[in-house]
Amino acid sequence: MSKAAEIREQRYERFREEDREALVKKGDFSQMRRLLRYLRPRRRQVATAIALSLVIAILTPAPMVIVKFAIDNFIQHHKIDGLVFSAIALIVSQLIIFFLDRRSQYLIAEIGQFTMRDLRLEVFNHIQSQSLRFFDRNPVGRLITRITSDVNVLNEMFAQGVVGIFQQIFSLFVILCVLLWFNWQLTLWVMLVLPVIAIASWNFRNNVFVSYRLTRVRLSRLNTFMQENITGMRTVQANGRESSQFETFDHLNASHRDAHIQTVFQYALFFPIVEVVTTVGMGIVLYKGGMHYVSAGAAAAVTVGQLALFIQALEKFFQPIKDLSEKYNVVQSAIAASERLFALLDSKPNLIDPPKPQEVKPFGNSIQFKDVWFAYNPGEWVLRGVSFTVQKGQTIAVVGPTGSGKTTLMSLLCRFYDIQKGEILVDGIDIREMRISDLRSKIAIVMQDVFLFFGTVVENIRLGNCEITDERVQHVAQQTGFADFVERFPKRYDTGVRERGATLSTGQKQLLSFTRALAFDPEILILDEATANIDTESEERLQQAVATLCAGRTSIVIAHRLSTIQNADRIIVIHHGHLIEEGTHEELLARDGMYRKLYELQYKEGLAV
């Protein structure tokens, strides 16, 4: 096998593994009860909808019964008056059904939409409340599918399923009663075909379930792949890998199609079977009913009207069974979707507010890391027993090579992740004992990757915080030097910012992110290598702003720059997850440690250049 084929095969095997996992799982009807709980806030509308469908179900056989009476009592007895009267009754009954039907359909749509909103919101908030560990593991594309497509599948079930099934079962029951009432022997004969229908339906729904689930899994994978390629299209194009990416897409697309075609086969087989069985039922009515008629003459137990009724009822009788199988499919896919949704909702946020959170006062004393151990993946320690203290008003510079754990340190202070051992204390309170929002309200963080929301410059600075006035935004932008750039934008602070930030350069985005942090006026400021992408010119402007920002403010800075380190009250050196040195610049130099060695080494190098 060629190298390329081998690698391709490895990827495809991963996909197949996912397929197998998805199929092993069986649909669990206990989900239904939980799903139905979402209807509770709208139980009054649901009750109305059910009542409406009951009335509609009762009225459904009315036209058939009217026709039966018209044939037996009026046509056969040559009564034109009665005939006209029954025609009018027929129209009236249809008119009533029309109004009820319209009302019930709109009501059902309404119930579905509002229920979906509740569910969507719950899923959205649940996802939002997850720790970053969760986002590290779940691709954005998959999460979007949960909130959008999966919820929409459930909508179908709420909209047609619940009320629809109720209506179908009830109308089946009403029609059966009507038939038994008019001719119970013939009814029982016709019921002979029921087992056939039952077996066919059973097989159908089992097979469809498998192929349907496969379809969903593969579609989700297809969409995730698509999403990722859109985001990274420039990388694909620059590397000229369009064709190999296309090849993978084609593979995913084809496997999705094949699963779909499998579903179609089941439908193609099932519907004609129902059709034939209906005709067999009709044949039984004709033979059994007609035989009575032939042998007994005028005193026949079976009238022409009855024959008409039975033949028409048969259609109506099998329609619900046919629909039910389809509804079953809707319900099944809803169950599959709900399993995914509930699995998501049940994934307990591993980061939660404590049951009895400590009341938090304005930051007054210190931040303490006490023997902090942390690993993103079990066993792979990123931080190993790090301890240090930051006093209020101090600026701490964190230095260390990339991958040494500096960024992690910052994420931990924001409680994006929980630590495995040790404790992080703010004013002596373990941050796990505080409300997460209380903790984060003290902190502003400037991250390596700047993220901008769709909207304007000013919206991106103040985010949702309406307390930050336009004046404050402008004032703060002056301080960071971002204002100089903004003045050059066509609409100044109202200039639109796009997702991939084409309007702003990376440096400008960094400046915006600084401005944002400053606007929030935090008690604790975290700068995470944020100066790295800024050129020296802007940085100089920024350094001054940062100096004013840090003054009187507790700051932890992952710094690469001289000015920051010099201004820092203390420097901590992190290496391989260990805190190896700590002190002021002078102290560290005085101590004959790593910091000094590094300094001397660099000094010599500096001369050599």
Partner 1 sequence: MKSLYPLHPYLRRHRWSIAAGILFVMAANVMSPVVPVIVGEAVNLAEHQHIGSGGLLDFATLAICVSGISACFLFLMRRVLIDASREVEYEFRNDFFAKLQRLDPTFFDSNNTGDLMSRATNDMDALRMLIGPAVMYSANTLMSLPMRLIWMFALDWKLTAVSIIPLLALPPLVRHLGARTHTLSRFQQDSFGDLTTVVQENLAGIRVVKAYRQEGHEERKFLDRNDDYITKSLDLARVQAIFFPIIRFVVGTGYAVLLTYGGIQVINNQLEIGTLLSFFILFSMLVWPLVAAGWVVNLIQRGIASLDRINAIMVWKPAVVDAPAFSSGAPKSLDIEFRDLTFKYDGTTTPQLANINLTVPEGRTLGIIGPVGSGKSTLIHLLGRLYPVERGMVWVGGRDINDWPINELRMFVSFVFQETFLFSDTIEWNIRFGATAEAPEEKILDAARRAQVAGDIEQFPNKYKTVLGERGVNLSGGQKQRVSIARAIARDARILVLDDSLSAVDTHTEEAILRNLRDVMKGRTTFLISHRISTVSLADEIIVLQEGRITQRGTHEQLVAAPGLYQELYRRQQTEAEIEQLDTPVVGGAPA
Among 333, 395, 538, 555, binds partner 1 (CB under 8 A): 538
If binding is defined by CB under 8 A, does position 7 make contact with partner 1? yes
If binding is defined by CB under 8 A, does position 70 make contact with partner 1? yes
Greatest C-alpha distance within the chain? 124
Task: Return the residues of window 197-236 that contact partner 1 according to CB under 8 A.
Answer: 222-224, 226-236
Q: How far is the CB of 207 from partner 1 (least distance, A)?
A: 15
For 518, residues 6+ apart whose C-beta sits below 8 A from its C-beta are: 444, 476, 479, 480, 545, 549
**Integer CA distances (angstroms), 463 to 232, 411, 512, 520, 555, in order:** 26, 20, 12, 10, 22
Best CA proximity match to 219, nearest among 186, 246, 257: 257
Among 102, 475, 491, 591, binds partner 1 (CB under 8 A): 102
If binding is defined by CB under 8 A, does position 456 make contact with partner 1? no
Among 9, 17, 21, 250, binds partner 1 (CB under 8 A): 250
Q: Which is nearer to partner 1, 31 or 200 (CB)?
A: 200
Q: How far is the CB of 299 from partner 1 (least distance, A)?
A: 13
If binding is defined by CB under 8 A, does position 180 make contact with partner 1? no
Among 61, 141, 161, 164, binds partner 1 (CB under 8 A): 141
- Of 29-37, 43-51, 111-119, 166-174: span binding partner 1 (CB under 8 A): 111-119
Q: Which is nearer to partner 1, 173 or 603 (CB)?
A: 603
For 299, residues 6+ apart whose C-beta sits below 8 A from its C-beta are: none
For 402, residues 6+ apart whose C-beta sits below 8 A from its C-beta are: none
Best CA proximity match to 140, nearest among 223, 256, 248, 17: 223
Among 91, 177, 352, 551, binds partner 1 (CB under 8 A): 91
Q: Which is nearer to partner 1, 31 or 334 (CB)?
A: 334
Q: How far is the CB of 215 from partner 1 (least distance, A)?
A: 10
Q: Which is nearer to partner 1, 11 or 361 (CB)?
A: 11
Q: Helical H runs in 241-386?
A: 242-284, 290-296, 304-346
**Integer CA distances (angstroms), 166 to 46, 53, 199, 200, 282, in order:** 11, 8, 22, 22, 26
Contacts 24+ apart (CB under 8 A), 73-82: 73/305, 76/303, 76/304, 76/305
If binding is defined by CB under 8 A, does position 63 make contact with partner 1? yes
How many CA within 13 A on the CB side of residue 609?
5
Size of the site for partner 1 (CB under 8 A): 188
If binding is defined by CB under 8 A, does position 362 make contact with partner 1? no
Q: Which is nearer to partner 1, 32 or 226 (CB)?
A: 226
Task: Return the residues of window 121-140 that contact partner 1 according to CB under 8 A.
Answer: 121, 124-125, 127-129, 132, 135-140
Q: Which is nearer to partner 1, 24 or 238 (CB)?
A: 238
If binding is defined by CB under 8 A, does position 467 make contact with partner 1? no
Task: Return the residues of window 432-451 that contact partner 1 according to CB under 8 A.
Answer: 437, 440-441, 443-445, 447-449, 451
Q: How far is the CB of 401 from partner 1 (least distance, A)?
A: 5
Q: Which is nearer to partner 1, 26 or 117 (CB)?
A: 117
Distance in angstroms (rounded) separating the CA atoms of residues 315 and 391: 82
- Of 42-50, 87-95, 169-177, 183-191: span binding partner 1 (CB under 8 A): 87-95
If binding is defined by CB under 8 A, does position 566 make contact with partner 1? yes
Please state, as a whole number, how many other Cβ atoms lie within 10 Å of the Cβ of residue 432: 19
Task: Return the residues of window 271-330 that contact partner 1 according to CB under 8 A.
Answer: 271-273, 275-276, 278-280, 282-284, 286-287, 290-291, 293-295, 297, 304, 307-308, 311-312, 315
Q: What is the per-residue DSSP string for 99-114?
A: HHHHHHHHHHHHHHHH
If binding is defined by CB under 8 A, does position 407 make contact with partner 1? yes
Residue the block writes with tokens 């044939």: 71
State how beta strands 395-399 and 554-558 pair.
parallel
Task: Return the residues of window 493-522 that contact partner 1 according to CB under 8 A.
Answer: 498-500, 502, 505-508, 511, 516, 520
Residues in the chain: 609
Q: Which is nearer to partner 1, 24 or 609 (CB)?
A: 609
Distance in angstroms (rounded) separating the CA atoms of residues 339 and 332: 10
Return the H-helix or E-strand segment holding 603. helix 594-608
Q: Which is nearer to partner 1, 24 or 607 (CB)?
A: 607
Distance in angstroms (rounded) separating the CA atoms of residues 430 and 424: 6
- Collapse the DSSP code of 132 into the 3-class scheme (helix H, G, I; strand E, B; otherwise coil) and give the result: helix
Best CA proximity match to 176, nearest among 279, 320, 293: 320
Q: Which is nearer to partner 1, 79 or 370 (CB)?
A: 79
Q: How far is the CB of 437 from partner 1 (least distance, A)?
A: 5
Answer for the pair 391, 570: CB distance below 8 angstroms, yes or no.
no
Among 575, 583, 584, 587, binds partner 1 (CB under 8 A): 575
